Amino acid sequence: RKEVEQDPGPFNVPEGATVAFNCTYSNSASQSFFWYRQDCRKEPKLLMSVYSSGNEDGRFTAQLNRASQYISLLIRDSKLSDSATYLCVVILYGQNFVFGPGTRLSVLP
Amino acid sequence: DGGITQSPKYLFRKEGQNVTLSCEQNLNHDAMYWYRQDPGQGLRLIYYSQIVNDFQKGDIAEGYSVSREKKESFPLTVTSAQKNPTAFYLCASSPTRDQPQHFGDGTRLSIL
């Protein structure tokens, strides 16, 4: 089983839709979690950290479910500019980041 | 402005040639990383460094070499031993190993 898995998509959604991605991880001792966004042929950029209690940043909500070993990203009121690949990242303290393969989102007009 | 600068943006390698990709950061970060990304794939770690004059192999270090003589610089050499070097190479840095990484805008390497 891979350390971090994501549904590759693509998720094709209309503008204004709500879309959610999940990311599962295999190591129950994983401590920190992040979501990155990568536009086509560009570098990844940090979108948000994921906290145990869940956190929100505008239209974006991140949640962590330790019991089932997954994190999620919810995007409300999707914009065309949200089209990108979303990478989840899992880290064990003292270990390196493990990047998921990414989920591609296309928001359609 | 603080950030990470990678150069060149595009690089072409001839058969049997070594090439060096530059990565410089002025964020005063201790940790630096090199990743390789193939089309439609995730990031794979090549090498990382937590401190000057020290670096460790990542998951796919064969055919690559690095140095960390200065805190702000972490160049990557793609040697002739790397038989399939065509990829997008990303350099990143973070304050420490456990904190979010920030990326440069990458170098695209192709074989002539």
pLDDT in tens, B45-67: 999 999 999 999 999 999 999 99
Strand A98-99 versus strand B43-51 pairing type: unpaired
Tokens representing B78? 């793609």
Provide the mean pLDDT of chain A: 93
Tokens representing A47? 């979108």
- Torsion, Cα of A31, A65, B100, A75 (10° steps): 180
Q: State how far the Cα of A75 lies from the Cα of A84, in Å rounded to an integer.
A: 12
Q: Number of residue pairs across A and B with CB atoms under 8 Å?
A: 41
CA distance B89 to chain A (A): 9
A61 or A94: which leads in pLDDT: A61
For A81, which DSSP code? Answer: G
Task: Identify the CA nearest to B93 among candidates B56, B51, B60.
Answer: B51
Q: For residue A88, count other CB atoms closer than 10 A to its CB.
A: 29
Q: Is pLDDT at A93 greater than 80 in this prediction?
A: no
B61 shares contact with chain A (CB less than 8 Å):
no
Look at residue A82 and give its three-state secondary structure: helix
B42 shares contact with chain A (CB less than 8 Å):
yes
CA distance B55 to chain A (A): 13
Residue-level pLDDT at B56:
96
Q: How far is CA A36 from CA A9, B21, B84, B104, B109, in A?
A: 16, 24, 27, 14, 23
> pLDDT tier at A1 (50, 70, 90 boundaries)?
low
Model pLDDT for residues B14-50, shown as the tens digit of each residue: 888 999 999 999 999 999 999 999 988 889 999 999 9
Q: How far is CA B100 from CA A33, A72, A91, A98, in A?
A: 9, 18, 10, 12
Residue-level pLDDT at B1:
63
Q: Is pLDDT at A74 greater than 90 in this prediction?
A: yes
Phi then psi for residue B89, to 5 deg, are -105, 130
Task: For residue A42, give the chain B residue with the closest CA.
Answer: B105
B64 shares contact with chain A (CB less than 8 Å):
no
Task: Summarize the confidence of residues A43-67 as an average pLDDT.
Answer: 94
DSSP string, B60-78: T-TTEEE--SBTTB--EEE
